[in-house]
Amino acid sequence: MKKNVKPKKKIGQHFLSDNNIANKIAELVDFKKHKQIVEIGPGMGALTDHLIDSAKKLSIIEIDNECIEYLEEKYQKKELQIISANFLKYDLKSFKDNEILIIGNFPYNISSQIIFKVIENREIVSSLTGMFQKEVAARICSNSGTKTYGILSVLTKLYYDVEINFDVSPNVFKPKPKVNSSVLSLKRKKSSKIDCDEELLFKIVKLSFQQRRKKIKNSLKKLDIPEVILEDSIFEYRPEQLSSSEFIKLTQIISNEPI
């Protein structure tokens, strides 16, 4: 067996070294529901070990060639698709399923980007279970009216129900990160259709939070909204005061759609 792989700082590797935590994450998975499970950044397979015998179809996506070699040898007698790729650039539509579960001990430096990619592929990705920096997990789950509420919170909650499952100490990783972690789950809402122009909605959310201290009417000046529409009281609020559903209402008002 190939010798253990050393974690690489430049790609944010912190290998999970606690078998109990890996098992606890795997226990959150509904294996009957998901035909396809996709693990991101398996490293040396600490979590993979708990998925491989229960998953109907398991694929792992790893960017580190040394890890790929290790995993190919480790799982050579198992049914497993090993993909050497950057997850952020990988086409998830190649899985041809609409009940994909994304799972993993995610590299903290790309965890927000992973969420945005999941949202972009929401018709395919029905669930996500993953390890995040505790601060990022809290931000994703934040409600309107809080300091941590922002783009990530609004866009995620438009399409998914979110839940922090449990917190994790730095001691279960090699090397130890300087932050605490949380395992977070996303489950796609039964109805993920949004009753407005979604492209405009995303633009409004992003523009609003770029100047989060300003009122909506000021942060959306780039959209050249007619004065008669700006008379609506919703434009007097700041972005952190609006829930996901209120951003939908805002989009409907701006595009002059029936509410």
Per-residue burial over 70-80, b if 16 or more Cβ lie within 10 Å, else e, is bbeebbeeeeb
- The pLDDT assigned to 180 comes to 95
DSSP code of 5? P
The answer, yes or no, to whether residue 221 has pLDDT greater than 70, is yes
Cα 180 from chain centroid (whole Å)? 18
Beta partners for 181?
Answer: 133, 168
Q: How far apart are CA 167 and CA 181, in angstroms?
A: 6
- Burial class for 186, CB neighbours closer than 10 Å (0-12, 13-18, 19+): buried
Confidence band for 259, pLDDT divided at 50, 70 and 90: low
Q: Taking residues 141-164, what's their average pLDDT? A: 95
Confidence band for 6, pLDDT divided at 50, 70 and 90: confident
The answer, yes or no, to whether residue 62 has pLDDT greater than 70, is yes
What is the CATH T-level fold of the domain 198-254, as seen in this structure? Helicase, Ruva Protein; domain 3 (1.10.8)
Same fold, 9-188 and 198-254: no
- The pLDDT assigned to 13 comes to 77
The answer, yes or no, to whether residue 5 has pLDDT greater than 90, is no
Residue 124, φ and ψ in degrees, nearest 5: -100, -45
**This prediction's pTM:** 0.92
pLDDT in tens, 14-61: 889 999 999 999 999 999 999 899 999 999 999 999 999 999 999 999
Please list, in sequence order, all residues whose beta carbon lies within 8 angstroms of the beta carbon of residue 7, skipping any fewer than 6 positions away.
13, 14, 15, 43, 174, 175
Tokens of 159: 């399409």
Q: How far apart are CA 173 and CA 179, in angstroms?
A: 11
Q: How far apart are CA 124 and CA 95, in angstroms?
A: 9
- The pLDDT assigned to 142 comes to 95
Nearest Cα to Cα of residue 38 among 114, 141, 132: 114
Identify residue 18 by its one-letter amino acid code.
D
Q: How far apart are CA 219 and CA 238, in angstroms?
A: 9
Domain ranges of the chain: 9-188, 198-254
Identify residue 50 by its one-letter amino acid code.
H
Point out the least confidently predicted range of 90-104, 182-196, 245-259: 245-259
The CATH number fitting domain 9-188, selected from 3.40.50.150, 1.10.150.110, 2.120.10.10, 3.40.50.800: 3.40.50.150
